[in-house]
Structure 1
Amino acid sequence: MLETIKNAWRVAELRKKILYTLFIVFIFRLGSSIPVPFVDFAMLSQVFEQQTSNGSLLSFMDVFTGGGLSNATIFAMGITPYINASIILQLLTVAIPALEHMVKDGGEEGQKKIASWTRYVAVLLGFVQGFSYYMLLKSWGLLTETGVWAAIVIIMAFTAGTALIMWMGEHITQNGIGNGISIILFAGIISRGPSLATAVMQLFKTSAVIGILMILVGLAMVVFIVYMSNAERRIPIQYAKRVVGRKMYGGQSTHLPIKVNATGVMPIIFASSILSLPATIQMFWNPEAGTVGASIMSLFQQTSPFYIALYAVMIFGFSYFYASIQFNPIEIANNLKKNGGYIPGFRPGKPTSDFIMKALGKVVFVGAIFLCVVALVPLIIGAFNSNLRNVALGGTSVIIVVGVALETVKQLEAQMMMRHHKGFLE
């Protein structure tokens, strides 16, 4: 990885892209340190310390905002509203034929319309979440002023921060290196590294054996993620010989690669973003302890069995949903048939598409189990041991950090391959 970055730095165009990405990340971290006015930050930090010790979903959301939520900064809403907006538009695209036709047949104009609608929905969700967070701060008595003007300033600052993060993410994708949403999530999680290191040090003070064990488990998890991210199922493909003019083409063997973790970290990001909605509702309406509402909200604590089970179901669902968007077995089978290719043992056309769909289903199932193991095992450990709840937040974080790092390095390698030209005499 370091060698790839070093080689990319030598290319002037890639160096500009890397510097542009780092500049946007710097702006993001700068905005994550600028607090909104009219908030008692000393009391707010105490409240979030308690939320973290209790394993609250708010502490889980705070990891993805890079500490912006716990500090009530202008970027407190993070990239979550934009992710939720993307999920909503993708689901509507599948459910509404007119939108599906716009995406498939509308070309670039259709894609621009969908992207524009996604931005509008993201800003709307940012406003809703900003308003809900303001109501939560007000109910906790953490505001120095509770007038209309203070409410407008705080809510609009949160909404503007959402719009700015969305803009930065899109510009990283267009002009920088990597996927903008993933890079911003990566930056937010990495910024929480010192607090995670502090939690591990506290484990060492409590029990050196547990501390060493957690470090070994973390290293094993990173190795496991890298291995599974590079694993793939290769379907053999044979191309028939054909004569064009006086030349013979085809007759070669190749394969169709299907990655085990073809969906990357997106199912986890989508699932965690959807499961953050109950916390948003709780910001609007903070039920009293012992009531039915409080019991319902307690189900969505990250250490509750219901939350863990629902998280697993949503990871599976989004894995299959995202794979269905990325892969179209019928289209792959038709392309193979047009180019004279076939899978040995299966006739071209429907038998080939059925085989690809079946193979894809098995691979996605294995990939979903992999994501569930990495994302849920740390949460289960935190549910059984309260001292490990802070460390449990690292499960989902590790897979996002490792996944984004691998994807970004692969993009750098692809960019370098595009710019590498051999000499005529080589």
Structure 2
Amino acid sequence: MRLSENVVEQSILSLCAEAGIPPAPVEVSGRSGLLPSVFRVDLLAAASVGAVSSAAAVYWELRGGPRAFASVARDHAELAFLSERFFKIAGNELELWADLSGDYRTRDGWVRLHCNFPAHRDAAVRALACPPTRDAVAGACLERGSLEVEEAVLAEGGAAAALRSRDEWAAFPHEPLVSMERLSEGPAVQPKNADRPLEGVRVLDLTRVIAGPVATRTLAAHGADVLRIGASHVPEVPGLVLDMGFGKRSCHLDLRTEDGRDRLRGLVATADVLVQGYRPSALAALGFGPEQLHELNPSIVSVDISAYEPGSPWYARRGFDSLVQLATGLAHEAMLAAGSDRPVALPAQALDHATGYLGAFAAISGLVHRATTGGSWHARLSLAGTARWLDSLGRREPAPATVPSDDVIAAIDSPHGVLSFVLPPGGVSGWRPRWDSPPPLDGSSPPVWL
């Protein structure tokens, strides 16, 4: 066994131990090289995909499926981390960044602004008291300190992060990478026999952007019935919501209204899993926090995905992958390694994608616990926790990116046109995950289970 394979397997074993579930044997194959970085992003991809594949295999065997074993091809896992960059609509690539999003030099360092949503763009412009042009924003940032810009934008309700060193971030409180908590006692819920690992599992998807949607998209690939809850007043990145929408249904509920909340309560009562990626406490304020979900459904598995770690003073902050890279010191260390004078990003939105696969892993781990010991289960993950995990995986000498294979890229006709996309990675007991439907039209399904 090559060392890289052994490291992947050891990482998967550690994740299973942390989640408290038995591991399935995992076969690691393929080459790496699509994600060149001083950080072990290649290992992050293989381990996170391998972990969810292992958990799916264990759960499938519990419900009468084949003997549990899993597989992960490193090159496929790495390509999946680039799914939004290889996703095409009628041959056209996605526009992933708004004009004002990016890194800006300040009087004493660097700061990153995330302006992909109009409200966040407007907040940044208000905080900087400048016109909404890139030159004007750059000039306003250069007149201020990086922490000054960060705090001003956050105070206006925007999203920003100053460049920090890893030593500065290390002073913040940390939690386990995958925090699993049993919320209640209760009888074991033995799932029925099925032809796919998650067949018949009902998943409520209250997520946006990448990490949460990757988690629910992964659950759909393993056979779950995933119902995404959106609303016409909630902004989205249009192309991105398509790449993340495979295998799901989409409905609209306005949770600002009693009718919308009542409909969601009805869905929760008969759901198996709920994954949410909104700001911490946002859903709890509407009556859908972990304890409230348990009261509605004593056997539910809930997964919370946040930008920053629970217990840290930043927990309630708005955050995105690119911001977390600066805040946690990853961009600073990569900058030093490259001899650059500006922040250096990871070669993919790797914190998002890894956290997404870990979110699916946590959801299935909760189902395993529910099937063996009963009760309701709550998992917490964060992009910052994943950044800390990546930092712990070691370093490597960056090399030019290899050319990806096109044998795991497919095309499908859809209501949106012909879509090119990366097939779901991993393997479960000799079976390949798949999506049964293209991305749906937004809000095209009623808020009911099939």
> TM above 0.5, one fold?
no
More strand by share: 2
More helix by share: 1
Instruction: State the TM-score bracket (shorter-chain normalisation).
Output: under 0.3
- Structure of higher CA gyration radius: 1
**Normalising by structure 1, what TM-score?**
0.25
Task: Tell which has more relative contact order, 1 or 2 (C-alpha 8 A, sep 6+).
Answer: 2
**Normalising by structure 2, what TM-score?**
0.24
